[in-house]
Amino acid sequence: MFDPYEVRRDFPILDRRVGGKRLIYFDNAATSQKPIQVIEAVSNYYRYYNSNVHRAVHTMSQEASQLYEDAHEYVARFIGADSYREIIFVKNATEAINLVAYSLGLHEFGEGDEVLVTLMDHHSTIVPWHIISKVKGFKIRYVNVTGDGHIDMDDLESKLSSRTRILCVPHVSNVLGTINDVAEMAKMVHEVGGYILVDGAQSVPHIPIDVKKLGIDFLAFSGHKMLGPMGIGVLYGREDILEDMEPFLGGGDMISSVHLEPGVGFRIEYNDLPWKFEAGTPNVAGAVGLMEAVKYLERLGMENVHSYERELVRYAMGLMDGLDGVEVYGPRDPGERAGVVAFNVRGIGGHEAASLLDDYGIMVRSGHHCAQPLHDRFGITNSARASFYIYNLKEEIDIFIDALKEIVVVSSEL
């Protein structure tokens, strides 16, 4: 097990004070903080290696290209992919999901087909399929969520059919923290001939991932939630599927050749994977930073990361469950969830609770967390959300609980 006190030394932002109080950062599901190793890796890239990739034979271009390709290799190994060819760099998980929707759904789905989305899904999953369904005429069906915060597997089974083209599901709910059995869901959808697209934005940074063991077709995740820079994300796709998919964006580097044939038009041949899906100048610095973030997490060990976060969420929920006036959402067993705890304080909304916590130097998220259908399912407009990571401490949770106790008293007097 790693030492969280030692880990904290690598994160300069944690030395900040907010309103005279020590910063307590519990908004990790939105974005994580960056260790000095990642900050320096990005800085060093711009200091010594900045050049466009795959464009020139000069030394700096070759060095930048090697770093960029190495980043693909590191990410592939981190999630258990067969090859760097299965790793596509994008801006974020949202773009990764859109890539699948537009490259696969727009070209291959049509009337009579069905796309399954869960009520637990992020808007980044729901909205692209909604847009494309209006063009292509396929039907979107929604899988329910149980009262205790799990995907309703009976409902899923009843809605799977030969018409199902793809099932979209979050590996971990960004509201409830529920860890979903995507391996079992992959088996179920494959039995009817469909694909599975997993939103891994809340799982890849926190739990060990092996895409082959999970048996999934696509996995989307963001670098900024796993200690990396903003502006870099990943789509994993099985190589045999990616080979047959149309590109999402057109332009430089995603083509092998473009020639004009008189009387015919342009003859275009696409580049090899993964470059076929990476049009234009990429975020090389972001890739370098993501590679350093992967190295950092590998040094800690993802089993250790998951175990420590489970310890934190068990500790937090144990204390929150004893607070009269605080309602916590999601599975009651901490072993069934990641380090995300959504809650409301009786008598006030999520935004007001978050604002009051900010007075204590505690940063939490508030709102519907881009998951309005899930909030509707539980009959609430919004919620506050505390989310933990490797540099958080039980002492910080104690301060958080003491603050909540005072906020409960204030809210009861309103």
- What DSSP character marks residue 371? -
Q: Which residues of 373-387 are buried (b: 16+ CB within 10 A; e: fewer)?
A: bbbebbebebbbbbb
Give the count of alpha carbons within 13 A of 204, CB side only. 32
Residue 414's pLDDT is 62
| Residue that finishes a domain, picked among 298, 320, 340 | 298
Active-site positions read 370
**Same domain for 260 and 407:** no
**Same domain for 349 and 288:** no
Residue type at position 151: I
**Same domain for 217 and 69:** yes
**Same domain for 16 and 86:** no
Residue 322's pLDDT is 85
**Same domain for 229 and 83:** yes
Q: Please report, for the domain that includes residue 234, its CATH number.
A: 3.40.640.10
**Same domain for 172 and 101:** yes
| Domain that residue 240 falls in | 39-298
Report residue 261 as tokens.
Answer: 């044939």
Q: How far apart are CA 177 and CA 112, in angstroms?
A: 34
**Same domain for 245 and 100:** yes
**Same domain for 310 and 284:** no
| Residue that finishes a domain, picked among 298, 330, 365 | 298
Q: Please report, for the domain that includes residue 386, its CATH number.
A: 3.90.1150.10
**Same domain for 43 and 22:** no
- Total number of domains constituting the chain: 2
**Same domain for 182 and 45:** yes
Residue 217's pLDDT is 98
Residue in 132, 190, 130 with CA at minimum distance from that of residue 165: 190
| Residue that finishes a domain, picked among 270, 298, 326 | 298
**Same domain for 240 and 193:** yes
> What is the value of pTM for the model shown?
0.96
**Same domain for 11 and 83:** no
Low-confidence ranges of the chain (pLDDT < 70): 413-414
